[in-house]
Chains A and B, each alone.
Chain A
Amino acid sequence: MAAVQGGMVDEKEEVDIKTEPQSDGLMNTNATDGRQLSPSPSSSSSAGSTKSAAGAPEDQQTLLAVLQFLRKNKLTESVEILRREAGLPEDALDTKGADCSAPSSGGTAGGVDGLDAGSLLSRVAVSSSAGTPAPTKAAVADDQPDVSVVLSAYSQQGDPALYKVYYSDLKKFIESVLDCHRAELSQVFYPLFVHMYLELVYNNHESEAKAFFEKFSGDQECYYEDDLRVLSSLTKKEHMRGNETLLDFRTSKFVLRISRDSYQLLKRHLQERQNNQIWNIIQEHLYIDIFDGMPRSKSQIDAMSGSLAGEAKREANKAKVYYGLLKEPEIEVPLDDEDEEAENEEGKPKKKKPKKDSMGSKSKKQDPNAPLQNRIPLPELKDSDKLDKIMYMKESTKRIRLGRENLPSICFYTFLNAYQGLTAVDFTDDSSLIAGGFADSTVRVWSVTPKKLRKVKSAADLNLIDKESDDVLERIMDEKTASESKILYGHSGPVYGISFSPDRNYLLSCSEDGTVRLWSLLTFTCLVGYKGHNYPVWDTQFSPYGYYFVSGGHDRVARLWATDHYQPLRIFAGHLADVTCTRFHPNSNYVVTGSSDRTIRLWDVLTGNCVRIFTGHKGPIHTLAFSPNGKFLASGATDGRVLLWDIGHGLMVSELKGHTDTVYALRFSRDGEILASGSMDNTVRLWDAAKAFDDLETDDFTAATGHIHLQDNSQELLLGTYMSKSTPVVHLHFTRRNLLLAAGSYAA
């Protein structure tokens, strides 16, 4: 599967286009900033097309390359269209853009990988077009030229025997410098090591490469172990083609943050020694983000490093993020009060009314950090949604206030007889339904209340019922079909992610078969199959307002969809490896993705830009959770650690150590006081999120540099560890009253 990523490129294409450092925002092919996200097919097609990139010189080159490629493949019509489009102003819409990308992508299959933008562009083009034929032939046959382009940087010949000398010379130097610089300069070791090794391999110095690896691999930080393992198996030039890790190293510059003093030190040393080999690598493959001020300490560096491509550049996290919550709709309050009053008249005296009012007024206040209400178009509230909101309000008045002294009760939903096949779980927000995705391609839905699951009557029967009656919603249901659970068949591979729509009428599931399916929970049938990811889709989630959903998969991109569009509205490209989990921000304006490149990215739904990159995890990220106020993010990874992030400042807030295995589930309590984490190690742990966020003091310097001082207070923050009986915790959910529900399948 790795092979396909390589893609191909026209041999005639200029092979030595220099890769320019680009911000990730530019790499996106989505509509440019400021354009309203309009969920129409034409806009979605623009995601696939390449025209938005026009303007920047490198994008022009990309276009040129694509045109050449198309011509070579005799796709004259596409060439025409593309050329015409490239000349047009960027905001012009042409539905043919989609047609253009579809046939071209059939051929490109994996992308023009010569340069950053190009590769991502074409990859996007490939995967965005729905009916792309399997890119098998193209990928396998045409890998070679691509690799030669890519690796041309490695072709410079140095004496292979000297590599060891160079490296150990540098090592000696770095070990001899002052302590404060040593930690910073040590960051250079890993990227240098990898590039030198690859250079040796590329130039067919197999034995030297092996010796080099043997000698210095032990020096690398332990969290690069996984990458080193991949590297160690790579000993031949032929193997380099189509290797994901290699491509990642090539397509992106490894980012290091080094203080100016330390950098000068390094530069001087290398120039003195005439150590051009190393200097070249640093110049070409490393991006050194130089900052003024005190060098960072070892622990500071360790907290932030570990990702596949180094740390995030400081500029990457500078964009303003509107993390505030959207105002609740105005109509809500009077409706709610009325209803509450009606309730009170029947039952208790009206005591709650003042309380209600205060809540209403609170929600009326506009949060300065909140996005505009209409920043992205959101679906109109239906009557049923309003009713649900009212229910939610009522429930939340009965909510238990959690805290350090008041921990939640935990209910465990155990899936029995699942034969290790349970892969995903989701609860509805009101905790009335639970769904499980299984390795046998099925999705099963259970009702966890006494209310059974019923299908809607058949069309013929529906004609018979009285449509004017008050209980028409009840009448359309077919009592004969009532059962505790329903099975949804449709996928042809393990179901890796599922998500209920907020209104409980739909269910999303994504699977290894490359599709995302939308199921109706009224008819219990599949409504749409969204094809776009041509590779396994690892996760999907509905927007908190419904209608939109996001998915991410093995093709390294996350996609934003609307339920009524068969093509994605946005494609979030930038991750260097699989997108393993995707989550919507509570205000629906942002999407966060975690990846196996060990980074977390926050994407603006409106612009499609990446607005935050969080590094610090040492393993693939498998779960993410926003705090209810939208300010913070929690992430869990295979390294068993949970990291907390401040979205506004783009900083790591806290590191929660305790789990001994992959963290698969994270959830904040409804009021954000408690963070619950569930793991493969069969435990649920509760953390004092309120304390972690309160302790946070962000001074200007920290905010400006992003250099955080983390104190190790995991043990202080850990409120409790709760064991299950050999049942890995796959999902966590707080009910509206703050009862914690956990789910997992018993592993016999």
Chain B
Amino acid sequence: MGFGVSSFAALTATMAEREERRFAQVSRESVALMAESAGVELGEEMAAVLAEDVCYRLREAAQSCSQFMKHAKRKKLTVEDFNRALRWSNVEAVCGYGAQDALPFRSGKEGELFFVEDREINLIELALATNIPKGCAETMVRVNVAYLDGKGGVELQGAVPTAVQSLSDDLLKYYQQITRAILGDDPHLMKVKSVSHDLEQLNRLLHMVRSLVQNPYLYLGSYVRSLVSSVMYCILEPLAASINPLNDHWTLRDYAALLLSNIFWTHGDLVSGLYHQILLSLQKVLSDPVRPLCSHYGAVVGLHALGWKAVEKVLFPHLPAYWANLQAVLDDYSVSNAQVKADGHKVYGAILVAVERLLKMKALSLSHPGEWCFNAQTGSLAAAVGYSSPGLSPPPESLSEAAFGIASHLQAGSGGCPWEEWAPVSLPAMYLELYSFFGDSLAVRFSTGPGLDSPPYCPSALLREPKKEALGQGSNSDTARKMPQLTANLSISPRRDGSPRTDPPPPSLRSRYSSSRSAQRLTGLPRDVFPKARFASPQNGPPSFSFVIGGRQMGQRCQGRRPFQTVFAPTPPPAAVPPRAYAHKLPVIGRVGKPVRRWTCSHYSLLLPL
């Protein structure tokens, strides 16, 4: 029987392939073997004749069973069809293979033995099982207008996307779980686009994407691309939810950007071709003045998430052009513009963070050969702006390692399609240019920004990290959502803390916040000027908050970006001060206030040549 079945399977296989003219053969040896097992001794000749006849009968049966398939209007020949053919030719049917699923047909480890996998089933367990399956769903008819007047296609009801069909059973279950998790009971949410009004949904969706991406047992293959595209959607699109300022779509964008970088980290091999494409689309959004600011914001955080190289390639060359637009928004003080302006500040903050990181990483990449070199670099840089921070130099080896990680990744990612228009700009030149835009705030952030204290990069840490990020994100967004409109700006800070995501923040996230808070309190200086900063501090003391406010306040007095910058000067030190660096940091922070005015002057001088 076993042989019969196996050759039958082989036979149906051959039938499936039309061009395959050869049919399954049952060898003489098989027949002899079967006879032996039945206790009959067969002569060589007899076995040969029998084998040939068996072959013929099998072919005949296969021929006649195919018509049962055709009349049942199926494309797949089933065991049932074959049994019918056997029954009609008065041959005993093959029992036990009536399952609808395809039978796994395997070859033995050694020799040319093929068999159908036949698991043993514990009947007792089956009989006493309490989780009796509920049975299949009722067969039903559903109607829908497929084509109206011979035009257009309306989706078929109950149809599942074609891609799903090819899934195996396990994957199908997984798919169902996922769809249920995402969609709940609402079948209308099949597409991202249809949920753009519902941040909750989008958030859920993103979290689902994250878990998909992080599932080490799931090979996403080409589906990564579609994931990326949905994530990009969340980053860039002017979602319907953005209309209401109370909606915290910023967090969503941050999270999506984080996810994007995460995908690139973990699935770099799969999306290598996409990198260039994504950069292009980000650039497109950024250079499109018609797009709302939230899209621009998304583009900036997206670039930031893709690493400093991306920022250097895309954002940096665009900055001069973009700056004008942003400035115009920021300088418009009409009431009607308030919301837009708040958005503008968001973008400003995002750019600042991105740029800061760019500078820092660039400096690091230049100084990678050694600690001293790095220090020298920073030193010289700092000297160039009239500010030295020898005591602040962080342990460079760890960071440079991380920098390499990102850089090499980016190079790998963009290897296929080099960024042609991009000509590297030397670090000082870049700094000068950027400084022309951001002024002091840049300097402050540059000298004391986060990331310098990152732990050594390791992939596992990266994998774990996002969860923490997500947590932080969630709590941040909570506060942000509770805030009234004016203080919605607060979420800048979580973003800024969270945005250098390619660079994993230290595990001691909390302590860092608290330290920065205490640092703030200690300095006292910024608080006098910007009392509103206190709003932020209970959560995580985002320094950028204060400078934004400051910018606005100062802007009232003066025009343009210069006053803007002068105001930045009193900005408190950034949050990311490692606890151990805290002691060293104290005096520095205290000093921050003083050099400010000098910087403004130097800034002027720097600006003139431009």
Binds A, one of B58-66, B243-251, B340-348, B555-563: B58-66
Judging by beta carbons under 8 Å apart, are A412 and B156 in contact? yes
Known: A411-B146, A439-B72, A496-B71. A727 touches B156 (CB 8 A): yes
Q: Does residue B40 face the partner (Cβ distance < 8 Å to A)?
A: no
Cα A619 to Cα B532 with chains together (Å): 84
Q: Tell me the number of A-to-B contacts counted with CB atoms below 8 Å.
A: 162
- Determine the residue in chain B with the shortest Cβ distance to A493: B84
A720 touches which one: B73, B80, B136, B150 (CB < 8 A)? Answer: B150
Judging by beta carbons under 8 Å apart, are B137 and A417 in contact? yes
Q: Does residue A422 face the partner (Cβ distance < 8 Å to B)?
A: yes
B144 touches which one: A233, A414, A417, A638 (CB < 8 A)? Answer: A414
Whole-angstrom distance between the Cβ of B90 and the nearest chain A Cβ: 5
Judging by beta carbons under 8 Å apart, are B147 and A722 in contact? yes
- Determine the residue in chain A with the shortest Cβ distance to B15: A229
Provide the residues of chain A in CB contact with B151, threshold 8 Å. Answer: 407
Provide the residues of chain B in CB contact with A622, threshold 8 Å. Answer: 70
Provide the residues of chain B in CB contact with A538, threshold 8 Å. Answer: 71
- The interface bits of chain B over 119-152 (1 if a CB of A lies within 8 angstroms of the residue's CB, else 0) are 0000000000000000011111111111111110
Q: Does residue A397 face the partner (Cβ distance < 8 Å to B)?
A: no
Q: Does residue B157 face the partner (Cβ distance < 8 Å to A)?
A: yes
Known: A233-B60, A420-B74. A434 touches B159 (CB 8 A): no
Within 8 A of A (CB), among B315-337: none
Provide the residues of chain A in CB contact with B157, threshold 8 Å. Answer: 414
Cα A230 to Cα B67 with chains together (Å): 14
Cα A229 to Cα B80 with chains together (Å): 23
Provide the residues of chain B in CB contact with A101, threshold 8 Å. Answer: none
Binds B, one of A189-197, A234-242, A329-337: A234-242
Cα A722 to Cα B74 with chains together (Å): 20
Cα A438 to Cα B70 with chains together (Å): 14
A746 touches which one: B149, B153, B159 (CB < 8 A)? Answer: B159
- Determine the residue in chain B with the shortest Cβ distance to A740: B147
Whole-angstrom distance between the Cβ of A463 and the nearest chain B Cβ: 35
Cα A408 to Cα B100 with chains together (Å): 38
Q: Does residue A735 face the partner (Cβ distance < 8 Å to B)?
A: no
Judging by beta carbons under 8 Å apart, are A412 and B146 in contact? yes
Judging by beta carbons under 8 Å apart, are A494 and B143 in contact? no
Judging by beta carbons under 8 Å apart, are B59 and A414 in contact? no
Provide the residues of chain B in CB contact with A81, threshold 8 Å. Answer: none
Judging by beta carbons under 8 Å apart, are B89 and A233 in contact? no
Judging by beta carbons under 8 Å apart, are B144 and A412 in contact? yes
Judging by beta carbons under 8 Å apart, are B148 and A409 in contact? yes
- Determine the residue in chain A with the shortest Cβ distance to B71: A496
Cα A439 to Cα B139 with chains together (Å): 13
- Determine the residue in chain B with the shortest Cβ distance to A665: B73
Judging by beta carbons under 8 Å apart, are B84 and A512 in contact? yes
Whole-angstrom distance between the Cβ of B346 and the nearest chain A Cβ: 43
Provide the residues of chain A in CB contact with B155, threshold 8 Å. Answer: 725
Judging by beta carbons under 8 Å apart, are A407 and B149 in contact? yes
Cα A662 to Cα B55 with chains together (Å): 29
Known: A136-B90, A140-B90, A439-B72. A414 touches B141 (CB 8 A): yes
Judging by beta carbons under 8 Å apart, are A236 and B52 in contact? yes
Provide the residues of chain A in CB contact with B55, threshold 8 Å. Answer: 233
- Determine the residue in chain B with the shortest Cβ distance to A400: B149
Q: Does residue A17 face the partner (Cβ distance < 8 Å to B)?
A: no
B159 touches which one: A446, A725, A728 (CB < 8 A)? Answer: A725
Cα A7 to Cα B140 with chains together (Å): 44
Within 8 A of B (CB), among A392-427: 406-423
Q: Does residue A444 face the partner (Cβ distance < 8 Å to B)?
A: yes
- Determine the residue in chain B with the shortest Cβ distance to A414: B142
Cα A413 to Cα B71 with chains together (Å): 20
Judging by beta carbons under 8 Å apart, are A409 and B138 in contact? no
Q: Does residue A1 face the partner (Cβ distance < 8 Å to B)?
A: yes
Whole-angstrom distance between the Cβ of B361 and the nearest chain A Cβ: 49
Known: A2-B64, A236-B52, A494-B72. A413 touches B158 (CB 8 A): no
Provide the residues of chain B in CB contact with A743, threshold 8 Å. Answer: 141
A422 touches which one: B71, B73, B150, B159 (CB < 8 A)? Answer: B73
B56 touches which one: A236, A421, A485, A638 (CB < 8 A)? Answer: A236
> Which of under 10, 10 to 19, 20 to 34, or 35 or more describes the interface residues of A?
35 or more
Q: Does residue A748 face the partner (Cβ distance < 8 Å to B)?
A: yes
Q: Does residue B85 face the partner (Cβ distance < 8 Å to A)?
A: yes
Whole-angstrom distance between the Cβ of A235 and the nearest chain B Cβ: 7
Judging by beta carbons under 8 Å apart, are A423 and B139 in contact? no
- The interface bits of chain B over 28-66 (1 if a CB of A lies within 8 angstroms of the residue's CB, else 0) are 000000000000000000000000110110011001100
Provide the residues of chain B in CB contact with A664, threshold 8 Å. Answer: 73
Q: Does residue A306 face the partner (Cβ distance < 8 Å to B)?
A: no
Provide the residues of chain A in CB contact with B138, threshold 8 Å. Answer: 417
Q: Does residue A558 face the partner (Cβ distance < 8 Å to B)?
A: no
- Determine the residue in chain B with the shortest Cβ distance to A422: B73
Provide the residues of chain A in CB contact with B67, threshold 8 Å. Answer: 554, 578, 596, 620
Provide the residues of chain B in CB contact with A422, threshold 8 Å. Answer: 73
Within 8 A of B (CB), among A653-710: 662, 664, 680, 686
- The interface bits of chain A over 629-643 (1 if a CB of B lies within 8 angstroms of the residue's CB, else 0) are 000000000100000
Judging by beta carbons under 8 Å apart, are A742 and B146 in contact? yes
Q: Does residue A288 face the partner (Cβ distance < 8 Å to B)?
A: no
Judging by beta carbons under 8 Å apart, are B150 and A419 in contact? no
- The interface bits of chain A over 706-748 (1 if a CB of B lies within 8 angstroms of the residue's CB, else 0) are 0000000000000110111111101000000000001100111
Cα A496 to Cα B84 with chains together (Å): 14
B143 touches which one: A412, A421, A423 (CB < 8 A)? Answer: A412
Known: A2-B60, A680-B73. A238 touches B53 (CB 8 A): yes
Q: Does residue B75 face the partner (Cβ distance < 8 Å to A)?
A: yes
Cα A722 to Cα B151 with chains together (Å): 9
Q: Does residue B68 face the partner (Cβ distance < 8 Å to A)?
A: yes
Judging by beta carbons under 8 Å apart, are B141 and A434 in contact? yes
Q: Does residue A107 face the partner (Cβ distance < 8 Å to B)?
A: no
- Determine the residue in chain A with the shortest Cβ distance to B59: A233
Within 8 A of A (CB), among B89-109: 89-90, 100
Cα A413 to Cα B144 with chains together (Å): 7
Cα A438 to Cα B71 with chains together (Å): 11
Q: Does residue A580 face the partner (Cβ distance < 8 Å to B)?
A: yes
Judging by beta carbons under 8 Å apart, are B60 and A680 in contact? no
A446 touches which one: B53, B75, B76, B141 (CB < 8 A)? Answer: B141
Q: Does residue A436 face the partner (Cβ distance < 8 Å to B)?
A: yes
Q: Does residue B23 face the partner (Cβ distance < 8 Å to A)?
A: yes
Cα A2 to Cα B66 with chains together (Å): 13
Judging by beta carbons under 8 Å apart, are A408 and B150 in contact? yes
Judging by beta carbons under 8 Å apart, are B147 and A409 in contact? yes
Judging by beta carbons under 8 Å apart, are A724 and B146 in contact? yes
Provide the residues of chain B in CB contact with A444, threshold 8 Å. Answer: 139
Cα A485 to Cα B142 with chains together (Å): 12
Q: Does residue A645 face the partner (Cβ distance < 8 Å to B)?
A: no
Judging by beta carbons under 8 Å apart, are B72 and A1 in contact? no
A413 touches which one: B21, B72, B100, B143 (CB < 8 A)? Answer: B143
Known: A417-B136, A420-B74, A725-B156. A409 touches B56 (CB 8 A): no
Whole-angstrom distance between the Cβ of B510 and the nearest chain A Cβ: 50
Judging by beta carbons under 8 Å apart, are A748 and B165 in contact? yes
Known: A1-B64, A234-B56, A417-B139. A748 touches B146 (CB 8 A): no
Whole-angstrom distance between the Cβ of B81 and the nearest chain A Cβ: 9
A580 touches which one: B71, B139, B156 (CB < 8 A)? Answer: B71
11 A–B pairs (Cβ distance < 8 Å), ordered by A: A1-B88, A235-B52, A235-B56, A420-B74, A423-B73, A439-B72, A448-B141, A494-B72, A496-B71, A726-B159, A746-B158
Residues of chain B touching chain A, judged by Cβ–Cβ distance below 8 Å, are 21, 23, 52-53, 55-56, 59-60, 63-64, 67-68, 70-76, 80, 84-85, 88-90, 100, 136-151, 153, 155-160, 162, 165
Closest 10 CB pairs of A and B: A407-B150, A1-B88, A725-B159, A233-B59, A412-B146, A410-B147, A417-B137, A725-B156, A1-B89, A410-B146
Q: A236-B52, A620-B67, A730-B73 are in contact. List 20 more A-B contacts (CB 8 A).
A: A2-B89, A229-B21, A233-B55, A239-B56, A243-B60, A407-B149, A408-B150, A413-B141, A413-B143, A414-B141, A414-B156, A420-B72, A422-B73, A423-B72, A438-B139, A512-B84, A535-B88, A638-B70, A723-B153, A728-B73
